[in-house]
Structure 1
Amino acid sequence: MQHVLAIESSTTRLSLALQSSGCIYTFDGEGGATASATMLGHIADLLMQANIAVADLDAVAFGQGPGAFTGLRAACAVAQGLAVSARVGGIVVLPVNTLMACAQAARTDLGPTQPMHISACMDARMSEVYTASYEFTQADGSAVLPVQVLAPMLARPDQLLRVQVQPHCFTGNALAVYGQDLGEAASHVAWHAALPTASAMLTLVPALLASGAAGPAAMARPLYVRDKEAQTTAERMAAKALLANTP
């Protein structure tokens, strides 16, 4: 696809990236409650920089979650609106898991070419953390998704290091927010500060498209890990059993 827009607002930051004819245009700024009011203006600026219109877009990717509910809803709504209005029949929308995008952002920063197991750990408020683990087996930009080692789940900060399967490094903002709660064990593992970004989402787009993750705007939905109805029965049972066996 020649022109793809990515929207990420699951944290306190607003991250936008536009891939157009081999170039990438980005914006990073304040997110939170104000993101929905400023998002369209910043997207218009990126389109102007690339000298294209909404009608030229081939797809819109958005940070599906988990994350801040307001930010997830705003990103989803804007992605749907742009996809429907782009042209007759609309264009596809691509939901991207924000924990996977966070892990991808860390992998890009670290720059390895060898396989790497990364655990994304993001503040979920209410003294909880969203976490998931991914095994990256291919070079960035390949059409192969990272392998999900641990499905997205909620955990207490003091459980976080125990539920993981020996990743090469942890990433996300959990250490900055809950460092004291993680205990001494946190000093014995590798941490890399990163957040999910729209640029990281664009890196994942080829593999996500190849996996069939794109769909019509009407089917796009945020992912609320805290909402138990958003998880399958098997996922809820697995997460419950894992936490029950974690001291």
Structure 2
Amino acid sequence: MSASRSAPRLLALDTATDTVHLALVQGDAVQVRALPGGAQSSAALLPAIRDLLAHGGLALRDLDAIAFGHGPGAFTGLRTACAVAQGLAVGAERPLLALDTLAALAESARQQGETAEAVWSVLDARMGEVYAARWCRGADGGWTADVPVALYSPAALAEAIAQAPAPLAGNALTVQAEVLGPLAARLVLASWPAAVPGGAALAVLARAAQARGAWIDPALALPLYVRDKVAQTTAEREALRATAATVAAAGAA
């Protein structure tokens, strides 16, 4: 690996939520993009990446690595991020960096003004449940979960937070306001409902992962599924490979 760790050139993407977030890191400079997620994301993602690289004056092969948010989040979004990142990495012969979407929420809260060294990330998982983890910030700017990522009912999450209080970040603060609002008030916890896995947060995580040398072979990249459905079906695996192959061909062109 010949990448310069002091001035990395990194592309980062996250499609785990209703918004697609992108970041292009060039040393200390960061360009970010946000675009609608969901059904529109697959069609819009590659053109947005091409536009971001063009504005930075870079080609895919100029990058040191490609980072992607591996989840948790929406199944379709996670598959999209994984397949696109794999395809771009294979086509450009670059390594991947897998980023934790919930860690990006914690970093987003920090960027909005949170000064605590620990943050609970709480992301709406729909079906009345919440993806959550408690993160501690490291000296390198990265985040490590001391309460690992899990799927909670609102009541179970409230109990877990009460046992290890820390500020709260993420859209579950709005979706599960009836439970998390009174809990935050009772425990006097700061709340950051607007925290998202945005480009600026992804850039920090990507830099930290690059500095640690946390590269993975694109063939080993997998989405982080937390619900009971933890295994991909044969059709899903074939779809993931097909999407990655299509993107790889486009990236190599």
TM class, shorter-chain normalised?
0.7 to 0.9
Letter in 2 for 1:146: W
Superposed, 1:76-225 pairs within 5 Å as 76-86=82-92, 90-110=93-113, 112=115, 116-138=117-139, 142=140, 145-164=142-161, 165-182=163-180, 184-188=182-186, 189-193=189-193, 194-225=195-226
- The CA distance in 2 between the partners of 1:118 and 1:199, in whole Å, is 17
Q: Give the aligned partner of residue 237 of structure 2.
A: none
Q: Does the CA-based 8 Å contact 2:173-2:181 persist in structure 1? A: no
Q: Does the CA-based 8 Å contact 2:121-2:170 persist in structure 1? A: yes
Alignment CA distance shift 1:118-1:82 (3 Å): same
Q: Give the aligned partner of residue 226 of structure 1.
A: 227
Q: How many residues align?
A: 221
The two structures, once aligned, show a CA RMSD in angstroms of 1.9
Corresponding residue SS for 1:124 = strand
Deviation at 1:131? 0.4
Corresponding residue SS for 1:65 = coil
- The CA distance in 1 between the partners of 2:86 and 2:14, in whole Å, is 14
Instruction: For structure 1, list consecutive stretches of 5 or more residues without a partner in the other structure.
Output: 231-247
- Which segments of structure 1 move beyond 6 Å, counting only runs of 4 or more? none
Alignment CA distance shift 1:119-1:111 (3 Å): closer
Deviation at 1:24? 1.2
- The CA distance in 2 between the partners of 1:228 and 1:70, in whole Å, is 13
Higher relative contact order (CA 8 A, sep 6+): 2
Corresponding residue SS for 2:70 = strand
Deviation at 1:184? 2.8
% same residue: 41
Instruction: For structure 2, list consecutive stretches of 5 or more residues without a partner in the other structure.
Output: 232-253
Q: Does the CA-based 8 Å contact 1:179-1:186 persist in structure 2? A: no
Deviation at 1:210? 4.2
Q: Give the aligned partner of residue 235 of structure 1.
A: none
- The CA distance in 1 between the partners of 2:44 and 2:138, in whole Å, is 37
- The CA distance in 2 between the partners of 1:146 and 1:26, in whole Å, is 21
